[in-house]
Amino acid sequence: MRLTVIFLMALVGTFVLDQGIKDLFVQGFGWRHPCLSLELHYNPGVAFSFLAFLGSGLKWLQMILIAGIALYLITSRLVWEYPLALGMLLGAAVSNLYDRFIHPGVVDYVAWHCGFNYAVFNYADVVIDAVIVWILFQSYRQYRREKKT
């Protein structure tokens, strides 16, 4: 029960925080600096607008993928090994998917443009990347412990 609560709180908390931040930018917040800007962008694709040509079909594809991943994590019991991390991961994924249903694309707002002008991301993107690194690091540590014994 405790792990379920951790998982659900992480999922809902990440979703609510990400949507709250995105709402600030949808409402008009912005800030510019020579290397970093905080400004509203809608990404019709995934990373670097990849798959944007799928149009509205992309949201349905992502919905199927997220549902499949969630089902796998729950049935394989992996979610109970990493309830905080996987709750955050699914909360971020669902938040970006939700954007596709209410906006022209995923709401991105951190634009890094020192030397290039194409890297724009949001809190959910950072959470997804950080959680993947976190799980890989934890898995590696566990592998090393098991190898020693």
Residues with active-site annotation:
108, 125
Of 71, 68, 90, residue with least CA distance to 135: 90
Distance CA 41, CA 22 (A): 10
Distance CA 140, CA 22 (A): 34
CA 103 to chain CA mean position, Å:
16
Q: 128 and 122 in contact (C-beta within 8 Å)?
A: no
Distance CA 7, CA 136 (A): 18
Tokens of 128: 């997804």
Distance CA 26, CA 16 (A): 15
Sign of CA dihedral 137, 143, 147, 149: positive
